[in-house]
Structure 1
Amino acid sequence: MKISSLRYLVAFADEGSVSRAAERCHISQPTLSIALQNLEIQLGVQLIERAKGHVALTDLGHQVVAQARRALDETRRVEMVAQTGRNPLTGEFRLGVIHTIGPYLLPELIASMRRTMPAMTLYIEENMTAMQADFLKYGTVDAAIIALPFDIPGILTRPLYDEPFQVIVPQGHPWGRRKKIASEEVRGDDVLVLKAGNCFREQVLDACPDISHAEGSLHQGHSIETIRCMVASGYGISVLPASAMAGPYRSDMVRAIPFEKPEPSRRVALAWRRGFTRPQAIEALAQAVQAIENPSYRMIATT
């Protein structure tokens, strides 16, 4: 049985499409299809249902995929152990990051990593917190940058920095000249939040509990960038992480106002699997984050 066939099968399971799985594996669609058919012949079972306009894993296929993930993770561990003996800061590193952090942290982080570990090839997997937890457990990513709390069995975390929240209002809003805003003032039907399932949404509702009293009437957006545009158009107000209003993300169409102390914030951390075989890479990544000079991030000193 070829390891490549297991990789193709897992790619198909993740993508739900032969064409997308082939693209992800950098091979042609016929090559991937033949490899999956040969795997079925070798195992003597049907892993994939095939019908006109429809392909999907069989029940047995799902079980084989789960075992294939474990086998591939162990294969990666063998490769990493060998690589660690040479140089743990070379080769590939797969970094997960959640949507509300990635666009704002990654430009500076990638530049910092190029200075500290230029021989490392970085692959980014941006997704929601729940998916990052699965990616870590199944070995899809080596580490992930997430917001705490992140209590997952077998996963270690290291706090990196705290990031305050800010209220954003459109130009001409009555709060436009305010220096500070109290969290209890952020309420009413014009408050924009992210859709359910996003951890930043829950952090905002915790920080401004009066918002959640009108759960059914909340205006919702799919991303921070969508919410920023909605605020700029005068559709409402919102609460964003400070980095989303810093540097290139500043806009003359919206005004960012700090909260009164104690200001709500989120704690951003690095997460990785217990027993990960390249601890030097985790340490180097954490140091690369802490080398970033951005007033939106309040770095947490290592102990």
Structure 2
Amino acid sequence: MNLPTVKQLRYFVALEEKEHFGKAAEACFVSQSAFSVAIKELESHLGAQLVDRTNKNVTITRIGREVANQARHCLRDIEYLAEVARSNQEMLTGRLNMGVIPTIAPFVLPSLMPRLRESFPDLQLYLREDTTQSIYGRLMSGELDVVLLALPYKLSNVETFTLFRDHFLLACHKDTRFLDPTCYNFHSLPDESVLLLEDGHCLRDHALSACKIQNQETVSRFAASSLYTLIEMVDSDIGITYLTDMAKDSMILRHTDIKTYPIGEQRYRDIGLAWRKGSARGEEFKMLGEVIATMHKELFQSRGE
């Protein structure tokens, strides 16, 4: 029996996700012609048509969808096999694929990466920045080994390691027209005054929960697509928002007229690592978590916080 190769399975999973030969080939870092040949070879090995091809569209057949689903399971098992083989190697060496969310990456990575490179020169850290749902999906498919994210978040079949608390702060223009930040009251905010990120960014849900925003009329119907867009709107005094400690002294607020104000020790999100339950590299990920937590603590102490 001619069995499919790992490369063919990876290519087909990418095609099923992208539904476009060119985009899938680009995602796999291979030419479109080589990619197409691999897909045809996979169909030949399996004796089934996985893709309906027309001049403009790519449609995955019913059996193709089933094959793609099983391919993900196969690739996950192969990744686990590789993890088992690597488990006897020295910790924090070799390749590590890590996902990180956009509301953490610009604040943690610039200070973390140089220290990790200095402390673990044999660690090859490949980073993927995306929303929580996306990196969680990539984690479970085996594309990522570990993810750096904000908690709480509904996750299944993973282990988590909490690194530190990231407290929420009121952020507004220094002369905002919406409220007196020194006499802030959660229950007396003007309608449509609270600016947040759009759905899909967990910072939105964490802000609503931690900051006890129960009156939805205070939340603007216009949501920002990125943290940088949100900052620009607050700097223009279109509304107020909630940022966290890690953003307070970052580059993102420099050259703006935004000021931040504490709103209580109980308003926070947890920053943590998550990996697949039962991963052979679980102890390594805990070690990585301890290193990140220590580095973060030292960084904040150096700032006098």
The reply to whether TM is greater than 0.5 is yes
Query: Against the structure 1 CA distance between its residues 227 and 211, is the aligned structure 2 distance closer, same or farther, given a 3 Å change threshold?
Result: farther
Report the Cα offset of residue 78 of structure 1: 1.9
Residue 137 of structure 1 corresponds to which residue in structure 2? 140
Residue 110 of structure 2 corresponds to which residue in structure 1? 107
Query: Against the structure 1 CA distance between its residues 251 and 185, is the aligned structure 2 distance closer, same or farther, given a 3 Å change threshold?
Result: farther
Query: Against the structure 1 CA distance between its residues 286 and 143, is the aligned structure 2 distance closer, same or farther, given a 3 Å change threshold?
Result: same
Contact 2:147 2:274 in 1 (8 A): yes
- Hey, what's the Cα distance between the residues in 1 that align with 2:243 and 2:201? 13
State whether structure 2 residue 98 is matched by structure 1 residue 95: yes
> Which of 234, 239, 246 matches 1:236?
239
Q: TM-score, normalised by structure 1?
A: 0.88
Q: Give 1:1-303 correspondences, 5 Å limit.
A: 1-173=4-176, 178-179=181-182, 181-210=184-213, 212-214=215-217, 217-293=220-296
- Higher normalized strand content (fraction of residues): 1
Report the Cα offset of residue 120 of structure 1: 1.6
Query: Against the structure 1 CA distance between its residues 290 and 207, is the aligned structure 2 distance closer, same or farther, given a 3 Å change threshold?
Result: closer
- Hey, what's the Cα distance between the residues in 2 that align with 1:204 and 1:155? 24
Q: Tell me the amino acid that sits aligned with residue 283 of structure 1.
A: K
- Hey, what's the Cα distance between the residues in 2 that align with 1:215 and 1:52? 50
Q: TM-score, normalised by structure 2?
A: 0.88
Residue 301 of structure 1 corresponds to which residue in structure 2? none
Report the Cα offset of residue 263 of structure 1: 4.6
- Hey, what's the Cα distance between the residues in 2 that align with 1:131 and 1:181? 35
Report the Cα offset of residue 174 of structure 1: 5.0
Report the Cα offset of residue 244 of structure 1: 2.2
> What is the count of residue pairs matched by the alignment?
298
Deviations 1:58-115 (A, max 9, x none): 2211111111111111112222222222334222111111221122112222223213
Match of 1:191, SS state, is: coil
Contact 2:189 2:218 in 1 (8 A): no
Report the Cα offset of residue 143 of structure 1: 0.9
Report the Cα offset of residue 294 of structure 1: 6.2
**Consecutive unaligned residues in structure 2, runs of 5 or more:** none
Contact 1:171 1:253 in 2 (8 A): no
- Hey, what's the Cα distance between the residues in 1 that align with 2:42 and 2:212? 54
Report the Cα offset of residue 12 of structure 1: 1.7
Query: Against the structure 1 CA distance between its residues 227 and 217, is the aligned structure 2 distance closer, same or farther, given a 3 Å change threshold?
Result: closer
Q: Tell me the amino acid that sits aligned with residue 223 of structure 2.
A: Q
Contact 1:189 1:218 in 2 (8 A): yes
Aligned-residue Cα RMSD (Å) equals 2.5
Taking only the aligned residue pairs, the percentage that are identical comes to: 28
- Hey, what's the Cα distance between the residues in 2 that align with 1:115 and 1:187? 49
Query: Against the structure 1 CA distance between its residues 234 and 145, is the aligned structure 2 distance closer, same or farther, given a 3 Å change threshold?
Result: same
- Hey, what's the Cα distance between the residues in 2 that align with 1:177 and 1:294? 32
Deviations 1:264-297 (A, max 9, x none): 1111111111111123420232123113246997
Report the Cα offset of residue 175 of structure 1: 7.6
